[in-house]
Amino acid sequence: MTKILVLYYSSYGHIETMANAVAEGAREVEGAKVTVKRVSELVPEEVAKKNGFKLDQTALVAEPKELADYDAVIFGTPTRFGAMAAQMKQFLDQTGGLWAAGKLIGKVGSVFTSSATQHGGQESTILNFHTTLLHHGMVIVGLPYSFEGQMTLEEITGGSPYGASTIAGGDGSRQPSALELDGARFQGRHVAGIARKLAG
């Protein structure tokens, strides 16, 4: 059994949708046991409600120590000025004990993201996230060009060799496209397949 965690933070539901697609793809790999969890919200509830945050997310909240229980962790975060959201950073900042004990060394790490605009920092967010994974000794897996959807010129779309992504639009009204969800599923399958090989 290969244990995969899809761990995300989502303010408005875009990353939540992508996380579920990543999990769908990972579950297609034989022997993969996939869990979807989220990190805690840091914004006060009254502020979150006023700003239209999606507060009905059903995924359980993860604890940092749980990361050691999985063969692979696929992280999802929206872009905040070209870097991960503070909620995800705060979660990762609590993993010092795992780092000191080398608990994540050799495990697979992967990242997907969203941004408001096509050039809103998707690639830099994932690359910045990779730094944390490298400090933990994780094996980084992206979204290879064997997912041919990222080569399209027929539509505006997220996705890069660094990881799957979606574009939310300035007002958040755009939802992940079919192609972006395909990329998320591909990344989930790809990560689960590599994790299975490494765990074996």
For 33, 64, 163, the CA distances from 73, given in Å and listed in that order, are 12, 12, 13
DSSP three-state, residue 12: coil
Known binding-site residue numbers for FMN:
10-15, 79-81, 135
Amino acid at 125: T
Known binding-site residue numbers for NAD(+):
12
Known binding-site residue numbers:
10-15, 79-81, 99, 135
Known binding-site residue numbers for substrate:
99
Contact (CB, 8 A) for 170 and 176: no
Using the structure block, give the residue that is written with the tokens 């939802």: 175
If you count them, how many residues does the chain have?
200
In angstroms, rounded to a whole number, what is the distance separating the alpha carbons of residues 136 and 144? 22
